[in-house]
Amino acid sequence: MNGIEENMEEPFVQNKLIPVMREAITTVQMLLFKELRRDIQTRYTDAIEPHHTRLAGAVINNLFGTQPEDREVAVFAASNRELVELELRELASRLSPLLPLVTDALRMKTICDNQEGIHSIASLLMARALGILLESRPLPMPSTFMLQVRTLAIQHGLVEPMEQSSTPFSGEPPA
């Protein structure tokens, strides 16, 4: 085998990185859920909880091609299919500031899935059809994506900022 063929067999994302990437993707889903639920609450003022929560969850699950952990969300999604689809069609205009991050998360999810033998390109195709996927956006490096997600998660109160160490790193492990 020549060097080119060997490099083609190397995964884009190392297997050790996949769980960390999935955590960042889940954080994006949580952030999107939080903002979408807030938006839904302002538009569906006559509906009572858990309607807002279930609708937001159904939309996020549909967009990312994930199965809901909560059976009630699955039942809600199935019985309110038209409403979920309406929310998906309006997502790009309602939450446009989050589209770059959602684009990156969907792409990273597809890469992680592919590394694990799961073919989830359908999520990207659906996002493109709905105007959610920003196709001209360059794919960030995994570390850049994770830092962007962490920064936004801190801004939205989903995670606490990391504290600075009082001692500078010397390059050697502590004794």
Q: 32-75 pLDDT, tens per residue? A: 999 999 999 999 999 999 999 999 999 999 999 998 888 888 99
Within 10 angstroms of residue 74's Cβ, the number of other Cβ atoms is 16
| In contact, 141 and 13? CB cutoff 8 Å | no
pTM over 0.85: no
Give the residue from 148, 172, 145 showing the smallest Cα distance to 18. 145
User: What dihedral do alpha carbons 134, 139, 144, 145 form, nearest 10°?
Assistant: 50
Q: Tokens for 175?
A: 């004794």
The phi-psi region of residue 160 (left if phi > 0; otherwise alpha if psi is between -120 and 50; otherwise beta) is: beta
Assigned domain for 7 exists: no
Assigned domain for 164 exists: no
Q: Give the domain range for residue 69.
A: 14-155
Domain count, the chain: 1
Assigned domain for 112 exists: yes
User: What dihedral do alpha carbons 35, 38, 43, 48 form, nearest 10°?
Assistant: 140
Q: 23-43 pLDDT, tens per residue? A: 999 999 999 999 999 999 999
Assigned domain for 169 exists: no
Assigned domain for 163 exists: no
Q: Say what the pLDDT of residue 175 is.
A: 54
Give the residue from 166, 172, 95, 163 showing the smallest Cα distance to 132. 95
| In contact, 27 and 157? CB cutoff 8 Å | no
Span 118-124, mean pLDDT? 93
Assigned domain for 160 exists: no
Q: CA of 57: how far to CAs of 2, 80, 112, in Å?
A: 48, 12, 22
Assigned domain for 170 exists: no
Q: Which of 41-50, 59-68, 94-103, 153-162 has the lowest mean pLDDT?
A: 153-162
Q: Say what the pLDDT of residue 2 is.
A: 45
Q: How far apart are CA 155 and CA 149, in angstroms?
A: 10
Assigned domain for 124 exists: yes
